Structure 1
Amino acid sequence: MSDFSFALADYIPTGMPQYNGNPLIECLPKILSDIDVVRRVGNLPAKPDEAERALDPKLRGHGINRLKDVVIPFEIHLRLEDLFSQLIRYGYTGRNPLCASSVRHRLPSSAEIKGHGFMSTAETMTLIGLSGMGKTTALSSIAKLYPQVISHSKYKHRIFIETQVVWLKIECPHDGSLRGFCTAFFSALDAALGVEKYTRRGITGRSISVMLQYISQLCKTYFIGALIIDEMQHLCSSRGGQDRDKLLNFFVTLSNDAGVPLVYVGTNAMLPLFSGVLRNARRAAGMGPISFDRFGEDDPFWAHLVSQLWAYDWTTACAPLTEKLLSRIYDLTQGNTDFLAKLLMLAQRHAIWEDIDSVTPAVLQQVYDNQMRFLHKPIEALRSGDPLQIADFEDMMPTKDQITQMMNYDLARRADRTHLSLITQAAIVPAAETTDKPATKAASRPMVPLAEGAVASVHFAKGEDVQTQLEQRGWVTKDSAW
């Protein structure tokens, strides 16, 4: 693939002073209004008409797949587009290629140059939420509002021959390994540029450290505007945590040294990645996390989504969407958009195969019972509302509950550590009293008072509020601050 497939740079003033005179920003599409975002992100394929519903059942079965292409934009899509727009543009303000500091920064030996004047303006955005809620689909639709690769030749009568990669999306390897990440990066860059160059060079006898340095240099060379890292929860399963920690550290280095904005995407199972190290947590909260949680049954956006998808009906007699149907659909999907699409598609196929005129509550239930068995446990956990059951499926737990669980665990761990210190003190005091010398006052006092009978029970019961358990044991008072 040659350069003619790239978008040719067309420079348009943005109206923002901090963006003026920066060809990497002025070549981007104009900043969109909310109405423009809805029109361009949303996708409503042609709905089946009476003629299409009268087609042969085999043909109508193919039409059902059109449901997969439906994208209904909501308020969260508008917020995501706005933050992604800011992320890319502000990240480029510190990498203006016409500035001497940026030119020096791009040199392969820039790491050895002290005081070259470069200061990163890269931010980090975190997109997190339940599995199947459309995070990746939404971000992919918004990223495609921008040409992935732009070719520059001249800027304001000045020769400026550069290739700019506006965004690059990669998936974390399933084992969270460093080598797997490097391979994924080189492969994604080759696919964007239409070459077979970096993947071959990257995997041929190079050490991990050399490949990581190579990635950093390529980010500078191609002015990568945003690095989208999907399936971040895979890092939680990396070998012994060594590759995971090294990779997270590399992301911080990439943001600081190469000035590349990062977009973390994953299920709620990735939250523990940012709970232990301050700089990782600070980065993840850079532009504020965007959370895709499941819909509530009374959420008007849920009713709107179901009504839009319900119109894509290839059965012979399209039934109207009633309250009874809406209630049954929610019960069988629990507000998960992926479960919703699967249920409707499977129900229509069943109706067509069995020569049933329309989708009814009975058809929905039969399809759920027979064809969605693998999803019964997670759906039943969501239906129960029991945090302990939902916790068995980490990527299904609502974000706020996952964060609360992490905080409660940390509080319990600190309390157990404090209680162990108190037990040790209780064992030492009698020995001190048997000596002829009066016992000296301890240099430091316990963090919490030891209540009578508290030694008997050290650990905490699951599913109960940790603060309440601490108060019941007398370890803290209601006014105690941790």
Structure 2
Amino acid sequence: MDAVYTPNQLSGAQPNPFLEAMPEMLSKEALFCRLACSPPPPDAAQLKPSDRRRGLNALSSVFVPLDYMAVIYNTLFCAMESTYTASATVDSIRRVHAIHQGDGAALAQLPVATSTDSGSILGVPGIGKSSTIRRCLRQIPQVIRHSQYGDSKLYCNQVTWLMVECPGDCSVKTLALNIIEAIDRAIGSSYSDLNQRVARLPSASVLATRVKILCLTHHVGLIVIDEIQNAILTASRNKQSKALIKFLVELSNEACTSIYYVGTPSAEDLFLSQEHLKRRTRGLRLLPMRPDGIYRGFLHELWPYQYTPERAHFTDALVNLVYDLSGGIPAYIVKIFYEAQVQALQAGTERLDDKLIRKAVEMLNIVAPKTYAKGTYLSDFSVCDTDEDTETDTEADTAEALEPEPVRRLYAVPRGRPKAKRDKHDILTLAAAGQDPETAAAVLEQAGLLEVF
């Protein structure tokens, strides 16, 4: 998109075209409208048997926004703005020259960008970290084209974000190439071709320098490194993670680019092992949904997408069974709901039941974790829409009424010993009935269960 400049309070008195070209941050309501995806539910009774199995693929396109997604969107958006707040246009040009010439002294004399943001988003596999981040980033224009700022010509591309995957071999070369290719995809350049015209790839240090210069040249606001736990797996074998982490730290410092790491909780071991990484990798630690109204609302959004001849009722027994078997992990919930219908259609069963759900879990070999490290459950996030001017009291009341109410946990299978039957004169029965001491004593004495001295 072409740059449209609007005054930004963060820029202060110094002109900052890159910060002023940033779009407005979306409200929670606007973000959820863009993120939500709910194709029309099927009328399975009208479908041919051959079309029911094919129609199940629509379930993979259903996307239910949750409050934690608004937190991720706000975090990434603010990280981009912190990059453009920390660097001015003239400083960026000076940094390019200093890095290109390898002049460490000149680079050290430039203003230090202390406000660029770095952090991490770690979570249990299957809760939707990567898909949520990609959807949130797509709500922000990736490339903003500048041509004129005020009375001055300004020809450049501003790349607000890049998302790349941490290489499995923990190689600086591979990660640098991934970043260069991501820039090519974003702006349509051909920097990657320079590496293919030579007999062998440049050294890791040369590629690292190119990445820093490209990030400054195209004003990259944020780089998201996905699957950062790959660095842990490689480090445990050949201890190569230090070079990769050093490159990322230098990239953040010298190119003034915010960096966020995304992965599983196993990456926490690497972050805590390096003192300089602890403050750079703070951020969200995500756990699955609790068995509450948020989970119930999530499953309720999926429930209409049933392709069996008859639709199963949304009962507490089935709802709690799905939670017990999935552990509240969204990817498991969707997969179980999908596979259970596959089993029903193949067996010619009219509707879903508990046996089909259990069989689906057995077919998929799903074993939900029982314990987790420290973190925040997806159900515990609560984000209020701060756009007070556009929301009336009536609208606020309506939105509050639509929020899923917390529900009491009802296990699908009764657990523990059956409750013993007690006599009406039993002390525990009297205590449970709320009898005062005098009345309880009189009843016990009358029944011959109390001796008074």
Give the TM interval when normalised to the shorter protein.
0.7 to 0.9
Q: Does 1:162 align with 2:156?
A: yes
Structure 1 residue 78 displacement after superposition: 1.4
CA distance in 2, matches of 1:32, 1:18: 22
Q: What's the counterpart of residue 270 of structure 2?
A: 273
The residue type paired with residue 249 of structure 1 is K
Structure 1 residue 111 displacement after superposition: 4.1
Q: What's the counterpart of residue 83 of structure 2?
A: 91
Q: What's the counterpart of residue 445 of structure 1?
A: none
Q: Is the 8 A contact 1:91 1:120 kept in 2?
A: no
Q: What's the counterpart of residue 350 of structure 1?
A: 343
Q: Is the 8 A contact 2:165 2:226 kept in 1?
A: yes
CA distance in 1, matches of 2:307, 2:15: 54
The residue type paired with residue 220 of structure 1 is L
Q: What's the counterpart of residue 325 of structure 2?
A: 332
Change (3 A) 1:272 1:18: farther
The residue type paired with residue 82 of structure 2 is Y
Q: What's the counterpart of residue 47 of structure 1?
A: 41
CA distance in 2, matches of 1:400, 1:84: 19
**Among candidates 80, 84, 103, match of residue 93 of structure 2:** 103
Alignment of 1:426-437 (within 5 A): none
Q: Is the 8 A contact 1:19 1:89 kept in 2?
A: no
The residue type paired with residue 260 of structure 1 is T
Structure 1 residue 45 displacement after superposition: 2.4
Alignment of 1:38-437 (within 5 A): 38-48=32-42, 50=43, 53-97=45-89, 100-107=90-97, 108-109=100-101, 111-113=104-106, 114-198=108-192, 200-201=194-195, 204-238=200-234, 240-285=237-282, 289-297=283-291, 299-369=292-362, 371-373=363-365, 375=366, 378-379=367-368, 382=369, 385=370, 397-400=372-375
Q: Is the 8 A contact 1:120 1:255 kept in 2?
A: no
The residue type paired with residue 106 of structure 1 is V
The residue type paired with residue 373 of structure 2 is P
The residue type paired with residue 330 of structure 1 is Y
Structure 1 residue 15 displacement after superposition: 4.9
- Which is worse superposed, 124-133 or 9-18? 9-18
Change (3 A) 1:159 1:181: same
Change (3 A) 1:44 1:275: same
CA distance in 1, matches of 2:161, 2:78: 13
Structure 1 residue 46 displacement after superposition: 2.4
Residues 373-429 of structure 1: per-residue CA shift (max 9 Å, x gap):
2x3xx42xx2xx3x5xxxxxxxxx43459xxxxxxxxxxxxxxxxxxxxxxxxxxxx
CA distance in 2, matches of 1:159, 1:218: 21
Structure 1 residue 186 displacement after superposition: 2.3
Residues 183-225 of structure 1: per-residue CA shift (max 9 Å, x gap):
3222222222234432552784311111111111111111111
CA distance in 1, matches of 2:134, 2:349: 37
Structure with higher RCO (Cα < 8 A, 6+ apart): 2
Please provide the CA RMSD for this pair. 2.2
Q: Is the 8 A contact 2:157 2:187 kept in 1?
A: no
Gaps of 5+ in 1: 1-6, 388-396, 402-482
Gaps of 5+ in 2: 377-453
Percent identity over the alignment? 24
Q: Is the 8 A contact 2:173 2:204 kept in 1?
A: yes
Q: Is the 8 A contact 1:122 1:260 kept in 2?
A: yes
Residues 59-97 of structure 1: per-residue CA shift (max 9 Å, x gap):
232321222222222221111111111111111112232
Q: What's the counterpart of residue 411 of structure 1?
A: none
The residue type paired with residue 47 of structure 2 is L
Residues 419-451 of structure 1: per-residue CA shift (max 9 Å, x gap):
xxxxxxxxxxxxxxxxxxxxxxxxxxxxxxxxx
Residues 315-359 of structure 1: per-residue CA shift (max 9 Å, x gap):
221222100110111122111111111101111122222222211
Change (3 A) 1:199 1:283: farther
Structure 1 residue 17 displacement after superposition: 5.2
Matched position secondary structure for 1:164: strand
Residues 115-158 of structure 1: per-residue CA shift (max 9 Å, x gap):
23353431112111100000011111110011111211111232
Matched position secondary structure for 1:8: coil
Q: Is the 8 A contact 2:117 2:258 kept in 1?
A: yes
Structure 1 residue 33 displacement after superposition: 1.5
Matched position secondary structure for 2:110: coil
The residue type paired with residue 223 of structure 2 is L
Structure 1 residue 112 displacement after superposition: 4.9
Residues 142-186 of structure 1: per-residue CA shift (max 9 Å, x gap):
100111112111112320000111111100112222222223222
CA distance in 2, matches of 1:35, 1:316: 36
- Which is worse superposed, 35-44 or 112-121? 112-121
Alignment of 1:4-15 (within 5 A): 7-15=1-9
Structure 1 residue 264 displacement after superposition: 0.5
Q: Is the 8 A contact 1:92 1:121 kept in 2?
A: no
TM-score w.r.t. the length of structure 2 is 0.76
The residue type paired with residue 366 of structure 1 is K
CA distance in 1, matches of 2:51, 2:13: 52
Q: Is the 8 A contact 1:13 1:20 kept in 2?
A: no
Q: Is the 8 A contact 2:286 2:375 kept in 1?
A: no
Q: What's the counterpart of residue 477 of structure 1?
A: none
CA distance in 1, matches of 2:13, 2:288: 37
Matched position secondary structure for 1:12: coil
CA distance in 2, matches of 1:89, 1:19: 16
Aligned positions, number: 369
